[in-house]
Amino acid sequence: MISEKRVPAPTEKIQRPRYGMFYFGLAIVLLVALMALLVPYLPLHSPDQMFMDHRLEAPSAAFWFGTDDAGRDILSRVIWGARTSLWIGTSVVAIGMILGVASGLFAGFYSGSWTEEILMKIMEILASIPLLIWAIAVVGILGTGATQIGPFSLSNEVKLIIVIGVLYSPSLARLTHTFAKIEVQKEYVAARRIQGAGDFRLMFGEILPNCIAPVLIQACLLLGIGLVVESSLSFIGLGVQPPTPSWGGMLSEGRNFIFSGEWWVNIFPGGAIFLTVLGFNLIGDGLQSVMNPRRVSRD
């Protein structure tokens, strides 16, 4: 059987994929990730080492990004903070994808059943909770110290990852659910069912690969949002706790120097957040333009 392929009308043209935008974003993220991985082996000062004779020193040959009010090397703290932020961001998205994709896939596959109704109702309830407010509430109730649950001790970072990851799942579940409902109605699924394929084989072997592209695009955007949420919580003292370096924590420590002339205390951690979020957004937008080229009208 010859598949039909839509040919653009003479008055339409296909917008070219934004490869440059994608590669630029990828370069930013890879650079940050590489520094985060190699930071123990880089010739840097310890992020907690205090040089009391060099407090609030401007960027120089000895301290490229300057020092903070405790005399700590800002360059070292920014790079070590990248490790913390990326670890939390990727873990959050991983949890969100596991819960969201699985829920959306099951709901879409069993469309019209009680399974779909229950799963999507749970996702609707979670989606109704503002992410940042819920994270603040949970951490505020449980406290910023380690929480003991049976034999397990959960650090504040792990609590953040679990809470934000669960609240990420609704958007990924809705997206997967929408595409899974479309795919399950297609002929190839019916053909594979006739050949004896079971439900799990159909869901994870046939339908999921055809739904994963938009999910990956959304995941890239969520990575950027996760960095902002983590930095916001650390800024108000509910996120990563000292002495662990974090970009939000550094902004919080340097907020008193915004108007006093020590611009480097805030500009470098703030710039790290901006560039990393920009990188993830550019990757997501680039993937969107490559996987789903838009057709625009000719003038």
Q: What is the pTM of this model?
A: 0.80
Q: Is 284 helix (H, G, I), strand (E, B) or coil?
A: helix
Single out the residue of 287, 90, 97 nearest to residue 208, CA to CA: 97
Residue 73 to residue 53: CA distance in whole angstroms:
12
What's the whole-number average pLDDT of the chain?
A: 83
First to last CA, the chain: 37
Residue 268 token pair: 């470098």
Q: CA distances (Å), 254 to each of 45, 70, 88, 284, in order?
A: 19, 11, 22, 31
- Residue 99: per-residue pLDDT: 93
Q: Region 111-134: what's the mean pLDDT?
A: 86
Q: Region 244-248: what's the mean pLDDT?
A: 87
Single out the residue of 227, 229, 127 nearest to residue 177, CA to CA: 127
Q: Scanning the structure block, which residue is given the tokens 């990563």?
A: 240
Q: Region 203-214: what's the mean pLDDT?
A: 87
- Residue 103: per-residue pLDDT: 93
- Residue 17: per-residue pLDDT: 61
- Residue 54: per-residue pLDDT: 86
> 1: pLDDT confidence band, cut at 50, 70 and 90?
very low
Q: Is 74 helix (H, G, I), strand (E, B) or coil?
A: helix
Q: Is 14 helix (H, G, I), strand (E, B) or coil?
A: strand
CA 281, chain centre distance (Å): 10
Establish whether the linkage from the previous residue to 8 is cis, with ω within 30° of 0: no
Percent of the chain residues topping a pLDDT of 90 = 22
Q: Of all residues in the chain, what percent are helix, strand and coil, respectively (each to 5)?
A: 65, 5, 30
CATH of 66-293, one of 1.10.3720.10, 3.90.420.10, 2.40.50.100, 1.10.10.10: 1.10.3720.10
